[in-house]
Structure 1
Amino acid sequence: MERSIRRFPAESRALGAGRSTIALAQASVLLFTPASHLFVPVGGTEAEAGIDCSSPVQAVSLYCLSGTADLQLLNLVLLALLLVVVSGILPRYTTVLHFWASLSLGQSVSLPDGGDAVSQVVTFFLVLACANDRRTWHWQRPGGEDRSGSLWQGLAWAGWWGVRLQVAYIYLDSAVAKLPVGPWSEGSATYYVARMENFGAAGLFADLFRWATGIPVIALLSTWGTILAELLIALLLLRRASRQVWAALISMTLHLLIILQIGIVSFGFIMVGAVLCAASRGIDAYAPQWARRLTGRPPAGRLATSP
C-alpha cells in the first residue's frame, strides 16, 4: 500500500478531463433548462418551487442558503461556478466548490435525471483525490517536485480509490439489477425502450433505432450487450492500469449509443466523466503510448532513425 501511495500520480490530466466532463454536463442542464422546469412541486405537495430544506444536508445547498432569491439567478451563479471548474483552474480548491455545486443541484432539483446522485458522490471523493494537486491548471503537465511522502498524497490516493470503487459498484449494480427483470433477461428490453412514449428513441436516429431493435437478433445483442458492457466496465476499473483504459473506451461507446438512441445527454457525460476519473491512472500511463502510435512519433528520449 505504501508503494502504491507513493507512485500514485496526484497531478493527473486524465482526472482533470473527467472533472471537466462532469462539470460541463452539469452546466448544460442549467444552460438549457429553465428554473421553472427544474423546480416543481412533487409528491402531491404544493411547496413553493418544490425545494426541500428540511435536512442538514439540504440546508447547505445554494438554493436553501439564498432564501427567497430568484431561482433563475441562482442557476446562473451555479452555471458560472461550474464553468470555472470546467476551465481546470486551481483543481485543489475548485473541487470543494464543485462538490458544493453538485450537492446544491442533487439535493434541490425536484426532477433529477440520475446523474445528479452520481456527481454528488464522485465530486466528494474528488475533493480528496485532488488534495495533493498543486498545479495552477489541471491541463498542465505534472510538476517535478516530489510530494509523495506527504499526508495529502495519502488522502489523494484514498480519494481516487473511493471514485474507482464507487463507479465500479454503480456499473456492477446496474448490470446485476437487470438480470431478474423479464425484458432484460429474455433479450427484448431495447425493443421496448426504443418505443416508450416519453423515454424512447428520439432525434435524428429515432427511426433507425426503432427499425434495428425490431430485428430480434439486434434486439437480443443490444440488450445483453448493455449488460455485458456494464459488467466489463466494473471489472476492468478494478484491474491494473492497462485494463482501466479499456473501461473508459467501453463507457464512452456505451453512453454515446444511449445518447444517440434516447437522449439523456447530461447523464451520459457525467458517467463518462466519472469513468475517466476512476481510470485516470491507467489513462495517464498509456495515453502517451497510444498517441505516439497514432502520430508515428518515436518514444521520448529516442531519436527517430532515417531509413
Structure 2
Amino acid sequence: MLTRLSRWVILWIDTPMWTQNLGIARTLIAVTGLATLAFNSMDTLIRPGAGIDVVPNCAGPARISAWCVVDPVDNSWMQILCILILALAASGWRPRLTAIPMWWVLFSNQASFTTVDGGDQVAAVLALLLIPVSLTDSRRFHWRHLSAAGLVGSGIYAGILARVTLVVIKVQVSFIYINACLSKLSVAEWLDGTSIYCWLRDPLFGPVGPLRQATDAMMLDPVLVASVTWGTLMLEFLLGISLFLPQRTKYVLLPLGVAFHLGIAVTMGLWTFAFAMWGALLLSLWPQGRLLYAMIMTARRIVEAFPRSASGLHDLSRPAGPPN
C-alpha cells in the first residue's frame, strides 16, 4: 500500500507543472484586465452607481487598490502604469517578478471599478491563486515548457507547492461552472428551454445589427432554442464535474468550452469574460499541455499533406494511357 502510494506521489510530482499552457493561461488572464483598461476611459470605469455614491471604492481591502493610493487627478498616469504592468505580465517575461504586480492591478480593477463584469472578478481570483505557481516558476519566459527535469533546479518543495496550487485552481474553476449550472435550475426559462431566446432578444445584452437579424432568424426554430439552452446547462454541469472525469474527456470539453465562451463574446460583447474563462479552462482541463506546439504541429501536418493531396488529384486527372 505504501509502495503504491509512494509511486503515485512520485508520478504526481514528476508531471510538468510550469508548462506552456500555464503561460498561455496567465497571458489570457492578464489580457482580461489589459483590455478593460486599454479600451475604456477612467470616467467610464469609476463612476457613481446605484447605491455607490463614493468612488472609487476604497473600503476594507480595497484600500490597497491602485486607484486608492493616488489622487483621482493622477488616475490617467496610474492607468498607463497598470497597462504596462499587465502588458509585461502578458508577454510572459519573468513570471516570478510579474505575478504579484499582475494580481495587484487585477484586484484593483475588481475592487474599485464601478463597471466590472464576471471576467474581472474571475481574473482577480485566478491571479491570486497563481501567485504560488508563478513564484516557483524559474523560466525567463512562460512560453517555454519546463519538463520534469527542470524540477531539480526549482526544488522538490516548489514542485509540490505548485502542484497543490493547481489542484486548488481546478477546484475553484469547477465550482464556478457547477454553481452557474445549479443556479439556473431555479429559473423557469432555463427549465423550459427558452432562456437563450430571451437573452438573445434582450435589448441590453443581445446582439445588434446583422448579427441580431441572424440570431432572430435562428431563434424561430424551437428545437434549436431548446437545444442551445439545455446544451448550455449540460456543458456547464460537465465542466463543473471535470475534476472527476478522465483526461480524454477533458480534451473534448476544452474546445467546447472555448467555443461556448466565444459565442457569448460574439453575441453579448463580453470579451473580457471570454479571455478570463479561456484561461480558467486551460488551467482546469489541460494545464500540463503545450497548446501552441500542438497547433503548430497540426498546421504543419496539414500543409505537408496538402501538396500530396493536390499531387494525387493531378495524377488522377491525367489519362491512363496514350490517346488513340
- 2:106 is the alignment partner of 1:102: yes
Aligned with 1:132 (options 136, 140, 143): 136
Residues 1:91 and 2:98 aligned together: no
User: Is residue 193–residue 200 contact of structure 1 (8 Å, CA) maintained in 2?
Assistant: yes
2:44 and 2:196 map into 1 onto residues whose CA distance is 28
Give yes or no for contact 1:18–1:276 (8 Å, CA) kept in 2: yes
Q: Over residues 254-294 of structure 1, what are the superposed CA-to-partner deviations in whole Å (9 max), with x where a residue is unaligned?
A: 0111112111111111111111122333534x886786566
* Cα offset, 1:32, TM superposition: 0.9
Deviation at 1:42, TM superposition (A): 2.2
Structure with a larger share of its residues in helix:
2
Choose the corresponding residue for 1:213, options 211, 219, 238.
Answer: 219
Give 5+ residue unaligned stretches, structure 2: 1-7, 303-324
Q: Is the 8 A contact 1:200 1:262 kept in 2?
A: yes
Match for residue 10 of structure 2? 3
With normalisation by structure 2, the TM-score equals 0.83
The worse-fitting range, judged by mean Cα deviation, of 150-159 and 217-226 is: 150-159
1:204 and 1:267, CA in 2 relative to 1: closer, same or farther beyond 3 A? Answer: farther
Shifted more, 129-138 versus 162-171: the winner is 129-138
- Which residue pairs with 2:81 in the alignment? 77
CA RMSD for the aligned pairs? 2.3
What is the identity percentage for the equivalent residue pairs of Structure 1 and Structure 2?
A: 25
Contact persistence 2:22–2:288 (CA under 8 A): no
Given the superposition, is the C-alpha separation of residues 192 and 156 from structure 1 closer, same or farther in structure 2, using an over 3 Å criterion?
A: same
Q: How far has the Cα of 1:237 moved from its partner?
A: 4.6
| Segments of 4+ moved more than 6 angstroms | none
Q: Shift in Å at residue 149 of structure 1? A: 5.2
Q: Deviations over 1:46-76 (max 9, x none)?
A: 32xx212120x10111111123442232222
Give the 3-state SS of the residue equivalent to 1:134 in structure 2. coil
User: Which residue is equivalent to 1:145?
Assistant: 150
Cα gap change, 1:89 to 1:149, in 2 (>3 Å): closer
TM-score between the two structures when normalised by the length of structure 1: 0.87
Structure 1 stretches of 5 or more lacking a match?
A: 298-307
Higher-Rg structure is 2
Of 258, 261, 266, the residue aligned with 1:255 is 261
Partner Cα separation in structure 1 for residue 132 and residue 265 of structure 2: 31
Aligned to 1:52: 57
Pick aligned residue for 2:207 from 198, 201, 207: 201
Tell me, in whole angstroms, the C-alpha distance in 1 between the residues paired with 2:292 and 2:75. 42
Q: 1:101-125, CA deviations, whole angstroms, 9 ceiling, x for partnerless residues?
A: 1111110111111111111111111
